[in-house]
Structure 1
Amino acid sequence: MTILPHTTPTEHRWPARIYPGDLSRTSTIRADLRPDLAGFTEDLVETVVLCASEMAANAVEHSRSGADPDGRVLRALLAPEPGVLRLVVVDDGARESSPEIPARRTEAEWMSAERGRGLLLVDALARAWGAYPVVPFPFCADLGTAVWAEFTTGETG
């Protein structure tokens, strides 16, 4: 019996890429993403690259991806349907909570905060975003979190 991933006839996937869990590698993630996005508008490319950088930095900062010496970050890119581009960043697990925008900050705290704006940027730039555990069973919570963001490409089919 062959096990094949479920894909729709219109879905397109780019090869997934795995990077060391080091903040200095976010420049490599950005550089690798640009050729994958060839053919899309410059504005969309810049938006997706910025979101990928923020999502990867979060994965490194808030999971074993950055804490373990051999931690990794996986970047996936797919077009699940015409007009939609989905970026997914997967960490190595052990988050204490789901990725979220800090909600309990005053305006003054936001003005002086040096951290915590990455997902705020993703929220503002993506048409939708979210997170889910890589394996959705409570005893597997340490296996990783996938953070995804979707963007409108302007294509209609």
Structure 2
Amino acid sequence: MAIMPQTPIPAYPGRRWAARTYPGLASMAARLRADLRDDLATLAGITPDLADDITLCASEAFANACDHSRSGHPGGRVMRFLSTPVVTRHETTLRLSLIDDGPKRDPRIPAPRTPHGCPLAERGRGLLLIHRLATEWGTSRAVDTPDGSLLSTALWAEFAYPSAEADR
């Protein structure tokens, strides 16, 4: 039996890939990246450079979820969503979202500040990378309980690129 390569499908508004859930372990970042590359390969118009940018942003967001939320605790998890909410004749928007298990501490109590201004620091650049590479990005509450406590946080990033139809 021969395995036929999959032909990428042009983007269409509302396309969604199956949500994926990963254990909140740093070692799972490689699986997240591989799954994301596989999913991006099914979408026509994604250049290798853009796929690398999207994958890097996902990896950084995953690392932040593991480090800074309950996702990094035993039994914690991170969910990944991917969709094309906007597709026009000229531009397609791909949206990547990662949802963590919520803050490690009470969000009403400010976290201690640490200096990230050192240009030689090995950490603290994940959100800066996302800011530089994504067209738009942000965070939002993913789930609220009736008493207002935050259960999880979604980090989303959008990437705009020329639609396949714009090339014709």
TM-score tier, shorter chain, comes to 0.7 to 0.9
1:66 equivalenced with 2:72 (yes/no): yes
Task: In structure 1, list runs of 5 or more residues that go unmatched.
Answer: 1-8, 98-103
2:32 maps to amino acid: I
- Maintained 8 Å contact 1:84/1:150: yes
Which residue in 1 is equivalent to 2:39?
36
Pick from 76, 82, 93 the counterpart of residue 102 of structure 2: 93
Looking at structure 2, the residues matched to 153 and 14 of structure 1 have their Cα atoms a distance apart, in angstroms, of: 18
- Maintained 8 Å contact 1:88/1:148: yes
2:118 maps to amino acid: W
1:152 maps to amino acid: A
Q: CA deviation at 1:137?
A: 5.7
1:55 maps to amino acid: A
More displaced, 128-137 or 50-59? 128-137
> % of aligned pairs identical?
48
Q: CA deviation at 1:52?
A: 0.3
1:81 equivalenced with 2:86 (yes/no): yes
Normalised to the residue count of structure 1, the TM-score between the two structures is: 0.81
Which residue in 1 is equivalent to 2:127?
119
Larger strand share, 1 or 2: 2
Which residue in 2 is equivalent to 1:128?
136
Matched residue SS, 2:154: strand
Pick from 133, 151, 154 the counterpart of residue 146 of structure 1: 154
Matched residue SS, 1:92: coil
Q: What value does the CA root-mean-square deviation take over the aligned residues? A: 2.4
Matched residue SS, 1:10: coil
Looking at structure 2, the residues matched to 24 and 139 of structure 1 have their Cα atoms a distance apart, in angstroms, of: 35
- The one-character-per-residue Cα deviations of 1:102-143 (angstroms, maximum 9, x if unpaired) are xx968xx33132211000000000001000011246734331
Looking at structure 2, the residues matched to 11 and 95 of structure 1 have their Cα atoms a distance apart, in angstroms, of: 33
Larger helix share, 1 or 2: 1
Which residue in 1 is equivalent to 2:21?
18
Pick from 29, 36, 45 the counterpart of residue 51 of structure 2: 45
Looking at structure 2, the residues matched to 92 and 46 of structure 1 have their Cα atoms a distance apart, in angstroms, of: 26
